[in-house]
Structure 1
Amino acid sequence: MTEEARHRALARGLRILEAVADGRGGLTVTELAELTGTDKSSVSRLVATLVDLGFLARLGNRRVVLTGRVLSLAKGFQKQYNLSEIARPYLKELCDVVGETVILTIRQGDYTVSIEQIDPEQPFRMVPHIGNLAPLHATAAGRAILFALPVVEQHRILDNLRDAPVEHPEVRLDRESWARELELARSRGYVWIPRTDDVERVAALAQDRNGLPLAAVSVYGPKYRMQSRVTELGREARATAAKMSRAAYGIRAREHGQ
């Protein structure tokens, strides 16, 4: 199956889930074909796959309904939404203390996505980052998350992202430079990537109760304001991340992999 065909199949599968969610008492394959504009044979195959994956269940009247597994996806979204709510006062406090833009970032597969941004009252501000995707190895926030994952998973991600496009060549991270950067991040307690542009970025990790990545807290700002304050800002970001961990899970964040 080509990549384009896989994309089409995924889109059809999602439309089927949406149609079943809107239908009361379940829907038959014929009804799904009519609602989604897809031929019955394709719908039948997709329904079978979704049943095998546990997202749909068959009833005795040939109808299919959603299962509780779909609810787990909604809970995942709700968890992210709640994380923003939990984090916001701490991000605002950090922004007020350091006088720079503060961003909350979470993992999405081998990438990161920014879900919250607090800007200071400064003449120079960062452009909005909400919704921005970036490879895990290419940003300070991404590395804060990456370095807290199991080593085998870190290697897998680095291999997957070997040819991923990056905005600046100096942010590329291969296995040779990985060990050095990991040790630096652990010794500092935060991540800072020297770059050739005019913006500085430092990030620290908020952890879940198992010590795995919950989110990264980043401080962004112009180099002329931040360059001499990287250590201070990194420590402030780390302190804020620890507060978030305690607020989210009632735990004391461990010192590792940030």
Structure 2
Amino acid sequence: MDGNSELSTVERALEVLELLWDLNGAGPTEVAERLDVPKGTVHGYLRTLTNAGYTVNEGGTYRVSYRFLTMGGRLKHRSRLFHVAKPEVERLADETGEIVDVSIEENGHSVTLHHAMGDQSLRLGLYPGMTTPIHAHAAGKAVLAYLPADRRDEILAGDLEAMTERTITDPEDLREELATVRDRTYAYDWDQQVTGMGVVAAPILVDDEVLGSIAIIAPTDRLQNHSYREELIRYVREASNTVEVSYQYSN
């Protein structure tokens, strides 16, 4: 098998996995129809994926296996940032009653590394590994503002999806906001990723490198209250500083 054929095989296997994930399980016939490939070919992929432990066959219906949960959990626990930030995230959730999140940048997106729920927090269905547009909320912008200029330019030159009518998608407008974030060393916004949701965030910077951000997520009406917003900004800035110091002295 030549290199192109091997690459095509890997891409097709990933397409099968993505489809099973989107459908929450499917049989070979449905997979073959949706991917427009022979049923026998699909059987081969499903058999290989099942033997490798990536899918499970339940009476002829295949679904993505919990092996991905195992891999995701292990990946998170290998992260030094996760171990350092986790106590601060959980402390802030207890103190504020809101959702507190630590996120990183990967492939031009914002990825949730860990979060904790407070007793008055929004129910948004967050989970570790959740990927969101980095430009559409303050947690992402707190990271984007501190990425190397060429990396930031690359992201801003891509597809800046509008999540709500308030999402900033114009690259020049975003550049201005990111400059303000760098001047302030924090970010805040509301209704840009989800209507009714606001975010305040501060970058986590070690040796001039941005590792991620720590954010508090609250309802828009609470965040629009100036004194409450200032209180949350103080919380995230103090927490990010604690994480930064702890990171440098952790093993």
Structure 1 and Structure 2 fold alike (TM over 0.5) = yes
Task: Check the 8 A contact 2:77/2:83 in 1, yes or no.
Answer: no
Deviation at residue 183 of structure 1 after TM alignment: 2.6
Q: Partner residue of 2:61? A: none
Q: Partner residue of 2:223? A: 226
Q: Partner residue of 1:127? A: 124
- Find 2:189's aligned residue among 183, 193, 204: 193
- Report matched runs for 1:65-214 at 5 Å: 77=75, 81-122=79-120, 124-130=121-127, 131-162=129-160, 165-195=161-191, 197-208=195-206, 210-214=207-211
Task: Check the 8 A contact 1:135/1:161 in 2, yes or no.
Answer: no
Q: 1:115 to 1:6 in 2, by over 3 A?
A: same
Q: Could you tell me the percent identity over the aligned residues?
A: 23
Q: Partner residue of 1:9? A: 10
Deviation at residue 190 of structure 1 after TM alignment: 0.8
Q: 1:78 to 1:201 in 2, by over 3 A?
A: closer
User: Does residue 217 of the first structure (1) align with residue 218 of the second (2)?
Assistant: no
| Structure 2 unaligned regions, length at least 5 | 1-5, 15-43, 46-71
Q: 1:78 to 1:89 in 2, by over 3 A?
A: closer
> Structure 1 stretches (4+) deviating beyond 6 angstroms?
none
| CA distance, structure 1, for counterparts of residue 239 and residue 109 of structure 2 | 23
> Which structure has the larger Rg?
1
Deviation at residue 239 of structure 1 after TM alignment: 1.2
Deviation at residue 9 of structure 1 after TM alignment: 3.5
RMSD over aligned Cα, in angstroms?
Answer: 3.0
The AA in structure 2 aligned to 1:134 is T
SS at match of 1:171: coil
| CA distance, structure 1, for counterparts of residue 111 and residue 185 of structure 2 | 22
The AA in structure 2 aligned to 1:184 is T
Deviations 1:89-114 (A, max 9, x none): 11122223322110111111110111
Task: Check the 8 A contact 1:117/1:128 in 2, yes or no.
Answer: no
The AA in structure 1 aligned to 2:222 is R
Deviations 1:202-258 (A, max 9, x none): 1111123x321212111011123332122221221111011111111149xxxxxxx
Q: Partner residue of 2:247? A: 248
Q: 1:145 to 1:80 in 2, by over 3 A?
A: farther
Paired positions, count: 186
Q: Partner residue of 1:46? A: none
| Structure 1 unaligned regions, length at least 5 | 14-36, 39-73, 252-258
The AA in structure 2 aligned to 1:216 is S
Q: 1:158 to 1:223 in 2, by over 3 A?
A: same
Task: Check the 8 A contact 1:190/1:235 in 2, yes or no.
Answer: no
Deviation at residue 153 of structure 1 after TM alignment: 1.6
Task: Check the 8 A contact 2:145/2:179 in 1, yes or no.
Answer: no
| CA distance, structure 2, for counterparts of residue 225 and residue 178 of structure 1 | 24
Q: 1:7 to 1:142 in 2, by over 3 A?
A: farther
Greater displacement, 153-162 / 165-174: 165-174
Task: Check the 8 A contact 2:98/2:218 in 1, yes or no.
Answer: yes
